[in-house]
Amino acid sequence: LVQSRTDYNSILQCQTPTWQVGNSNGPTIYLIDHEKIEKESDGIHKQQDFNKLLKHEMMHSYTSFYSNFVCTPSWLFEGISVCFAQQFRTEAGFNKVKILNSMTQFDGDFYGESGNFVKYLYEKYGKDRIMEMIKYSSKMKDCKSLKKIFYEIYPEEIGKL
């Protein structure tokens, strides 16, 4: 647990945005202390958010290990973490075309849309296909290879979303 934003920035060796209160690097997780999280995030996160934030970062650690530390496309890994931690923002919806044309963050509610899309995939097709996506993420070098792998794992009817 990190005691202050200053310490957190020092550990990560950069100036972090106020909303960011957690980070995982392989098996190591850094989180601003739950008693200080509200102050250090300018009120964006509340003390009661801490367990969800911890679950989110734990899932990052797990998925990075399972993917041999290849964490692209970003929407998949953030979406899995949002989904597992139940940090949904249903008003975000999702845009499949935008998501599948992105290897990194995209404009809009990146975390909300990523979480909602992964939740949709999980509820409709189950966890095994998501695990396949993680397993083959190292082969996703660009949007073209991402889509090729995605449509090999998921049926064509998903194109009707």
> What DSSP line would sit under the chain, residue for residue?
-B--HHHHHHHHTSPPPTT--EEEETTEEEEB-TTTHHHHTTTSS-GGGHHHHHHHHHHHHHHHHHTTT---SHHHHHHHHHHHHT---GGG---HHHHHT-SS--SS-HHHHHHHHHHHHHHHH-HHHHHHHHHTGGG--SHHHHHHHHHHHS-GGGGG-
Report the distance separating Cα 58 and Cα 46, nearest Å.
Answer: 19
pLDDT value for 159 = 64
User: pLDDT grade, residue 58 (50/70/90)?
Assistant: very high
pTM, two decimals, is: 0.89
Report the distance separating Cα 76 and Cα 38, nearest Å.
Answer: 28
pLDDT, mean of residues 41-45:
89
Span 90-117, pLDDT tens digits:
787 899 889 999 998 888 789 999 999 9
Find the angle CA(15)-CA(82)-CA(125) to the nearest 5 degrees.
145
Name the range with the highest mean pLDDT among 5-9, 26-30, 88-92, 107-111: 5-9
pLDDT value for 161 = 54
pLDDT value for 160 = 60
pLDDT value for 43 = 87
Q: What is the mean pLDDT of the chain?
A: 91
Q: Phi first, then psi: what are they for 31, rounded to 5°?
A: -135, 140
pLDDT value for 56 = 96
Cβ 12 vs Cβ 18: under 8 Å? no
Looking at residue 54, its amino acid is: L
